[in-house]
Amino acid sequence: MFVRIKKDWELPESQATPESLFFQRRTLLKAAGFTLAAGLLPYSSFGATAGFPSNLNPKYPVGELQMTKEDLITNYNNFYEFSFDKKDIAAQAKKFKSEPWTLEISGMVHKPQTFDVNQLVRQLGIEQRVYRFRCVEAWAMVVPWDGFPLQKLVDLVQPTKQAKYLRFASFLDKEMAPGQARSPQYPWPYNEGLTLAEAAHELPLMVTGVYGKPLPSQNGAPLRLIVPWKYGFKSIKSITKIEFTDKMPNTLWNDLAPNEYGFYANVNPAVDHPRWSQKRERIVGTWFKKQDTFKFNGYGEQVADLYKGLDLKKWY
Ligand SMILES: Nc1nc2c(c(=O)[nH]1)N[C@H]1C(S)=C(S)[C@@H](COP(=O)(O)O)O[C@H]1N2
Ligand SMILES: [Mo]
Protein backbone atom coordinates (compact mmCIF):
# COMPACT_ATOMS: atom_id res chain seq x y z
CA MET A 1 0.00 0.00 0.00
CA PHE A 2 1.18 3.47 -0.82
CA VAL A 3 1.60 5.61 2.25
CA ARG A 4 1.64 9.31 1.58
CA ILE A 5 4.34 11.13 3.47
CA LYS A 6 3.01 14.30 5.02
CA LYS A 7 4.70 17.50 3.92
CA ASP A 8 6.09 19.37 6.88
CA TRP A 9 4.26 22.54 5.88
CA GLU A 10 1.02 20.65 5.62
CA LEU A 11 -1.83 21.26 8.01
CA PRO A 12 -3.05 18.59 10.36
CA GLU A 13 -5.99 16.74 8.85
CA SER A 14 -8.18 18.04 11.64
CA GLN A 15 -7.47 21.57 10.50
CA ALA A 16 -8.16 21.19 6.80
CA THR A 17 -11.30 23.07 5.95
CA PRO A 18 -14.48 21.22 5.24
CA GLU A 19 -16.71 23.24 2.93
CA SER A 20 -19.16 23.90 5.72
CA LEU A 21 -16.49 25.70 7.71
CA PHE A 22 -15.76 27.97 4.81
CA PHE A 23 -19.34 29.12 4.80
CA GLN A 24 -19.38 29.49 8.55
CA ARG A 25 -16.33 31.71 8.34
CA ARG A 26 -17.80 33.64 5.51
CA THR A 27 -20.74 34.48 7.75
CA LEU A 28 -18.32 35.40 10.51
CA LEU A 29 -16.49 37.73 8.18
CA LYS A 30 -19.70 39.39 7.19
CA ALA A 31 -20.71 39.77 10.81
CA ALA A 32 -17.39 41.44 11.48
CA GLY A 33 -18.13 43.86 8.62
CA PHE A 34 -14.91 42.70 7.11
CA THR A 35 -14.56 43.05 3.38
CA LEU A 36 -11.31 44.79 2.56
CA ALA A 37 -8.44 45.16 4.96
CA ALA A 38 -4.74 45.61 4.55
CA GLY A 39 -2.47 42.69 5.20
CA LEU A 40 -3.17 39.16 6.24
CA LEU A 41 -5.23 38.73 9.34
CA PRO A 42 -5.78 35.37 10.90
CA TYR A 43 -9.38 34.32 11.14
CA SER A 44 -8.80 33.64 14.78
CA SER A 45 -8.92 37.38 15.31
CA PHE A 46 -12.61 37.08 14.61
CA GLY A 47 -13.18 34.34 17.06
CA ALA A 48 -13.19 31.50 14.55
CA THR A 49 -11.80 28.17 15.64
CA ALA A 50 -8.25 27.25 14.71
CA GLY A 51 -7.37 25.91 11.30
CA PHE A 52 -7.33 26.74 7.65
CA PRO A 53 -8.02 29.07 6.10
CA SER A 54 -6.16 30.90 8.81
CA ASN A 55 -4.24 32.58 6.01
CA LEU A 56 -7.10 33.67 3.80
CA ASN A 57 -5.99 36.88 2.16
CA PRO A 58 -8.91 39.20 2.94
CA LYS A 59 -8.44 40.98 -0.37
CA TYR A 60 -9.66 37.83 -2.16
CA PRO A 61 -12.52 36.57 0.01
CA VAL A 62 -15.43 34.32 -0.74
CA GLY A 63 -17.74 37.33 -0.63
CA GLU A 64 -20.86 36.70 -2.68
CA LEU A 65 -19.17 34.01 -4.77
CA GLN A 66 -20.78 30.59 -4.79
CA MET A 67 -17.91 28.21 -4.18
CA THR A 68 -17.64 25.11 -6.32
CA LYS A 69 -17.71 21.89 -4.32
CA GLU A 70 -14.35 20.30 -3.60
CA ASP A 71 -15.47 17.04 -5.13
CA LEU A 72 -16.10 18.78 -8.47
CA ILE A 73 -12.88 20.79 -8.47
CA THR A 74 -10.94 17.56 -7.99
CA ASN A 75 -12.94 15.33 -10.34
CA TYR A 76 -13.76 17.53 -13.31
CA ASN A 77 -10.38 18.41 -14.78
CA ASN A 78 -8.37 19.25 -17.84
CA PHE A 79 -4.93 17.62 -17.79
CA TYR A 80 -4.11 16.21 -21.20
CA GLU A 81 -0.98 14.45 -19.95
CA PHE A 82 -3.34 11.96 -18.31
CA SER A 83 -6.57 11.82 -20.27
CA PHE A 84 -8.92 13.74 -22.54
CA ASP A 85 -11.78 12.62 -20.34
CA LYS A 86 -12.35 15.20 -17.59
CA LYS A 87 -13.83 12.64 -15.25
CA ASP A 88 -11.06 10.07 -15.74
CA ILE A 89 -8.09 12.31 -14.94
CA ALA A 90 -8.20 11.80 -11.17
CA ALA A 91 -8.00 8.03 -11.70
CA GLN A 92 -5.27 8.24 -14.34
CA ALA A 93 -3.18 10.55 -12.15
CA LYS A 94 -3.15 8.19 -9.15
CA LYS A 95 0.33 6.89 -9.84
CA PHE A 96 1.77 10.31 -10.50
CA LYS A 97 4.73 10.97 -8.22
CA SER A 98 4.99 14.63 -7.23
CA GLU A 99 7.41 14.17 -4.35
CA PRO A 100 10.28 15.03 -4.35
CA TRP A 101 9.92 17.86 -6.87
CA THR A 102 12.24 20.61 -7.96
CA LEU A 103 11.54 23.89 -9.70
CA GLU A 104 14.33 25.23 -11.88
CA ILE A 105 14.53 28.96 -12.52
CA SER A 106 16.86 29.96 -15.33
CA GLY A 107 17.53 32.59 -17.98
CA MET A 108 17.53 36.32 -17.49
CA VAL A 109 17.65 36.50 -13.70
CA HIS A 110 20.38 37.56 -11.30
CA LYS A 111 19.75 34.55 -9.08
CA PRO A 112 19.10 31.46 -11.17
CA GLN A 113 18.47 28.47 -8.92
CA THR A 114 16.78 25.14 -8.45
CA PHE A 115 14.38 24.93 -5.53
CA ASP A 116 13.07 21.96 -3.67
CA VAL A 117 9.35 22.77 -3.78
CA ASN A 118 8.62 22.03 -0.11
CA GLN A 119 11.56 24.22 0.87
CA LEU A 120 10.28 27.01 -1.38
CA VAL A 121 6.80 26.83 0.13
CA ARG A 122 8.26 27.05 3.62
CA GLN A 123 10.36 30.02 2.56
CA LEU A 124 7.55 31.99 0.90
CA GLY A 125 4.61 30.88 3.03
CA ILE A 126 1.08 30.08 1.89
CA GLU A 127 -2.00 32.18 1.78
CA GLN A 128 -5.45 31.38 0.57
CA ARG A 129 -7.41 33.19 -2.12
CA VAL A 130 -10.83 32.58 -3.56
CA TYR A 131 -10.73 33.11 -7.33
CA ARG A 132 -13.14 32.74 -10.19
CA PHE A 133 -11.88 30.27 -12.79
CA ARG A 134 -12.98 30.33 -16.45
CA CYS A 135 -12.02 27.64 -18.97
CA VAL A 136 -11.89 28.55 -22.66
CA GLU A 137 -14.48 25.77 -23.16
CA ALA A 138 -17.04 28.10 -21.51
CA TRP A 139 -17.42 26.56 -18.07
CA ALA A 140 -16.61 28.25 -14.78
CA MET A 141 -15.85 27.46 -11.16
CA VAL A 142 -15.02 29.37 -7.97
CA VAL A 143 -12.03 27.89 -6.17
CA PRO A 144 -10.32 28.47 -2.80
CA TRP A 145 -6.65 28.02 -3.72
CA ASP A 146 -3.65 27.88 -1.38
CA GLY A 147 -0.33 29.16 -2.61
CA PHE A 148 2.10 32.06 -2.80
CA PRO A 149 1.99 35.00 -5.21
CA LEU A 150 4.18 34.49 -8.29
CA GLN A 151 5.30 38.06 -7.61
CA LYS A 152 7.22 36.81 -4.54
CA LEU A 153 9.13 34.30 -6.63
CA VAL A 154 9.92 36.92 -9.28
CA ASP A 155 11.33 39.19 -6.55
CA LEU A 156 13.37 36.33 -5.15
CA VAL A 157 15.20 35.50 -8.39
CA GLN A 158 15.59 39.13 -9.54
CA PRO A 159 14.95 39.45 -13.29
CA THR A 160 17.62 41.29 -15.28
CA LYS A 161 16.78 44.39 -17.33
CA GLN A 162 16.50 42.34 -20.52
CA ALA A 163 13.85 39.96 -19.16
CA LYS A 164 10.40 40.52 -20.69
CA TYR A 165 8.66 37.14 -20.50
CA LEU A 166 8.45 33.98 -18.42
CA ARG A 167 8.29 30.59 -20.06
CA PHE A 168 6.79 27.85 -17.88
CA ALA A 169 7.27 24.14 -18.56
CA SER A 170 5.46 21.18 -17.12
CA PHE A 171 6.98 17.68 -16.73
CA LEU A 172 7.82 15.03 -19.30
CA ASP A 173 7.28 11.44 -18.22
CA LYS A 174 5.52 9.06 -20.59
CA GLU A 175 5.39 6.30 -18.00
CA MET A 176 3.56 8.30 -15.36
CA ALA A 177 1.48 10.29 -17.83
CA PRO A 178 -0.30 7.98 -20.29
CA GLY A 179 -1.62 10.94 -22.29
CA GLN A 180 1.91 11.93 -23.29
CA ALA A 181 2.49 8.52 -24.81
CA ARG A 182 -0.96 8.39 -26.40
CA SER A 183 -0.69 11.81 -28.07
CA PRO A 184 2.82 12.00 -29.55
CA GLN A 185 1.65 14.72 -31.94
CA TYR A 186 1.45 17.14 -28.99
CA PRO A 187 4.64 19.12 -28.39
CA TRP A 188 5.21 17.90 -24.81
CA PRO A 189 6.02 19.05 -22.22
CA TYR A 190 3.02 21.39 -21.83
CA ASN A 191 4.31 24.90 -21.74
CA GLU A 192 2.90 28.35 -21.23
CA GLY A 193 4.05 31.93 -20.86
CA LEU A 194 3.37 35.31 -19.29
CA THR A 195 4.86 38.76 -19.77
CA LEU A 196 7.07 39.84 -16.90
CA ALA A 197 4.58 42.62 -16.11
CA GLU A 198 1.80 40.03 -15.80
CA ALA A 199 3.95 37.75 -13.63
CA ALA A 200 4.90 40.64 -11.35
CA HIS A 201 1.24 41.59 -10.85
CA GLU A 202 -0.26 40.68 -7.48
CA LEU A 203 -2.93 38.30 -8.83
CA PRO A 204 -1.08 35.29 -10.34
CA LEU A 205 -0.78 32.60 -7.70
CA MET A 206 1.62 29.66 -7.54
CA VAL A 207 -0.79 27.10 -6.19
CA THR A 208 0.08 24.32 -3.76
CA GLY A 209 -3.35 23.40 -2.47
CA VAL A 210 -7.09 23.61 -2.73
CA TYR A 211 -9.65 23.83 0.10
CA GLY A 212 -6.74 23.91 2.55
CA LYS A 213 -5.35 20.54 1.47
CA PRO A 214 -2.27 19.77 -0.63
CA LEU A 215 -3.02 19.95 -4.33
CA PRO A 216 -4.23 16.60 -5.72
CA SER A 217 -2.26 15.28 -8.70
CA GLN A 218 -5.19 15.84 -11.05
CA ASN A 219 -5.14 19.57 -10.22
CA GLY A 220 -1.41 19.92 -10.96
CA ALA A 221 0.55 18.78 -7.91
CA PRO A 222 2.77 19.84 -6.41
CA LEU A 223 2.85 23.33 -7.91
CA ARG A 224 0.74 24.99 -10.60
CA LEU A 225 0.00 28.47 -11.79
CA ILE A 226 -3.35 30.24 -11.51
CA VAL A 227 -3.95 33.40 -13.54
CA PRO A 228 -7.58 34.22 -12.74
CA TRP A 229 -8.21 36.78 -15.52
CA LYS A 230 -7.05 34.45 -18.31
CA TYR A 231 -8.58 31.34 -19.83
CA GLY A 232 -7.77 28.24 -17.80
CA PHE A 233 -5.24 26.80 -20.25
CA LYS A 234 -2.76 29.53 -19.22
CA SER A 235 -2.81 28.11 -15.68
CA ILE A 236 -0.16 25.45 -16.29
CA LYS A 237 0.04 22.48 -13.94
CA SER A 238 2.91 20.54 -12.35
CA ILE A 239 5.57 23.12 -13.20
CA THR A 240 9.20 22.00 -13.37
CA LYS A 241 10.86 25.01 -15.01
CA ILE A 242 10.50 28.74 -15.40
CA GLU A 243 12.78 30.49 -17.84
CA PHE A 244 13.02 34.30 -17.95
CA THR A 245 13.55 35.46 -21.52
CA ASP A 246 13.39 38.47 -23.84
CA LYS A 247 11.33 36.61 -26.47
CA MET A 248 7.62 35.85 -26.36
CA PRO A 249 7.54 32.13 -25.55
CA ASN A 250 5.70 29.64 -27.70
CA THR A 251 2.89 27.83 -25.90
CA LEU A 252 1.54 24.32 -26.44
CA TRP A 253 -1.93 25.46 -27.45
CA ASN A 254 -0.69 28.25 -29.67
CA ASP A 255 1.59 25.79 -31.47
CA LEU A 256 -1.30 23.37 -31.99
CA ALA A 257 -4.03 25.87 -32.97
CA PRO A 258 -2.70 29.42 -33.39
CA ASN A 259 -6.03 30.80 -34.61
CA GLU A 260 -7.85 29.47 -31.54
CA TYR A 261 -5.48 29.96 -28.60
CA GLY A 262 -3.43 33.13 -28.34
CA PHE A 263 -0.59 34.11 -26.07
CA TYR A 264 -2.57 36.61 -23.99
CA ALA A 265 -5.83 34.65 -23.79
CA ASN A 266 -7.50 37.16 -21.50
CA VAL A 267 -11.10 36.22 -20.76
CA ASN A 268 -13.19 38.32 -23.10
CA PRO A 269 -16.91 37.78 -23.77
CA ALA A 270 -16.69 40.12 -26.78
CA VAL A 271 -14.40 37.82 -28.73
CA ASP A 272 -15.84 34.45 -29.67
CA HIS A 273 -13.73 31.35 -29.98
CA PRO A 274 -13.76 30.42 -33.70
CA ARG A 275 -15.98 27.43 -32.84
CA TRP A 276 -18.22 28.75 -30.03
CA SER A 277 -19.39 31.86 -28.21
CA GLN A 278 -17.61 33.20 -25.13
CA LYS A 279 -20.47 35.47 -24.06
CA ARG A 280 -21.74 33.14 -21.36
CA GLU A 281 -20.41 30.35 -19.19
CA ARG A 282 -21.80 27.20 -17.63
CA ILE A 283 -21.49 27.05 -13.84
CA VAL A 284 -19.96 23.68 -13.00
CA GLY A 285 -22.00 21.96 -10.32
CA THR A 286 -25.34 23.32 -11.44
CA TRP A 287 -27.70 21.69 -13.84
CA PHE A 288 -26.50 23.61 -16.91
CA LYS A 289 -27.10 26.97 -15.32
CA LYS A 290 -25.38 29.74 -17.25
CA GLN A 291 -24.19 33.23 -16.41
CA ASP A 292 -22.68 36.14 -18.32
CA THR A 293 -18.92 36.07 -18.72
CA PHE A 294 -17.07 39.16 -17.55
CA LYS A 295 -14.20 40.82 -19.34
CA PHE A 296 -10.95 39.74 -17.67
CA ASN A 297 -13.15 37.28 -15.79
CA GLY A 298 -14.18 40.09 -13.45
CA TYR A 299 -10.62 41.22 -12.63
CA GLY A 300 -10.55 44.14 -15.07
CA GLU A 301 -10.18 46.77 -12.40
CA GLN A 302 -6.91 45.19 -11.32
CA VAL A 303 -5.42 44.16 -14.65
CA ALA A 304 -6.79 46.26 -17.53
CA ASP A 305 -3.85 48.65 -17.26
CA LEU A 306 -1.47 45.88 -18.26
CA TYR A 307 -2.97 45.92 -21.76
CA LYS A 308 -3.01 49.58 -22.68
CA GLY A 309 -2.30 49.85 -26.39
CA LEU A 310 -3.22 46.24 -27.19
CA ASP A 311 -6.24 45.62 -29.42
CA LEU A 312 -8.21 43.21 -27.25
CA LYS A 313 -10.87 42.74 -29.95
CA LYS A 314 -8.38 40.53 -31.69
CA TRP A 315 -7.83 36.99 -30.53
CA TYR A 316 -4.62 37.55 -28.66
N1 LIG B 1 0.25 20.68 -17.66
C2 LIG B 1 -1.02 21.01 -17.96
N3 LIG B 1 -1.57 22.11 -17.41
C4 LIG B 1 -2.85 22.44 -17.69
C5 LIG B 1 -3.62 21.66 -18.60
C6 LIG B 1 -3.03 20.50 -19.15
O7 LIG B 1 -3.64 19.75 -19.94
N8 LIG B 1 -1.73 20.19 -18.80
N9 LIG B 1 -4.93 22.04 -18.89
C10 LIG B 1 -5.27 23.46 -18.68
C11 LIG B 1 -6.69 23.72 -18.80
S12 LIG B 1 -7.35 23.71 -20.37
C13 LIG B 1 -7.48 24.03 -17.73
S14 LIG B 1 -9.10 24.49 -17.91
C15 LIG B 1 -6.94 23.94 -16.34
C16 LIG B 1 -7.81 23.01 -15.54
O17 LIG B 1 -7.44 23.03 -14.20
P18 LIG B 1 -8.25 22.13 -13.14
O19 LIG B 1 -8.29 20.74 -13.67
O20 LIG B 1 -7.51 22.25 -11.86
O21 LIG B 1 -9.63 22.73 -13.06
O22 LIG B 1 -5.60 23.49 -16.31
C23 LIG B 1 -4.76 23.98 -17.34
N24 LIG B 1 -3.39 23.55 -17.10
MO1 LIG C 1 -9.38 24.87 -20.18
Ligand 1, atom 2: nearest CA belongs to which residue?
237
Residues 6+ apart with CB under 8 A from 70: 19, 210, 211
Please report, as a single letter, which amino acid is at residue 133. F
Closest CA to 73 of 179, 208, 228, 210: 210
- Verify whether ligand 1 is closer than 6 Å to residue 67 (CB atom): no
Report DSSP state, residue 19. Answer: H
Residue 135's pLDDT is what? 98
Dist. CA 59–CA 39, nearest whole Å: 8
Using only the alpha carbons of the chain, give its radius of gyration: 19
Contact 219, 208 (CB under 8 A): no
Indicate the pTM of the whole model.
0.87
Q: Is the distance from CB of 215 to CB of 196 less than 8 angstroms?
A: no
Task: Please give the average per-residue pLDDT across 192-213, as a whole number.
Answer: 96
- Count CB neighbours of 309 within 10 A: 4
Cα of 243 from ligand 2 centre, angstroms: 23
Range of lowest pLDDT (33-37, 107-111, 114-118): 33-37
**CA proximity to 209, closest of 21, 51, 14, 53:** 53
217 lines ligand 1 (CB under 6 A): no
Does the Cβ of 237 fall within 6 Å of ligand 1?
Answer: yes
Q: Which ligand is nearest to the CA of 177?
A: 1
Q: What is the pLDDT of residues 246-305, one digit of tens each?
A: 999 999 999 999 999 999 999 999 999 999 999 999 999 998 899 999 999 999 999 999
Q: How high is the mean pLDDT of the chain?
A: 86
Residue 42 reports pLDDT greater than 90: no
Report CA-CA distances (Å) from 17 to 108, 113, 157, 274. Answer: 39, 34, 33, 40
Give the whole-number percent of the chain exceeding pLDDT 90. 75
SS3 181: helix
Q: Which residue from 233, 261, 267, 284 has its CB within 8 A of the most atoms of ligand 1, so it is best to mutate? A: 233
Query: Quick check: 265 and 204 in contact, CB under 8 A?
Result: no
Tell whether the model's pLDDT for residue 46 goes beyond 60: no
How many Cβ atoms are within 10 Å of 72's Cβ, its own excluded?
13
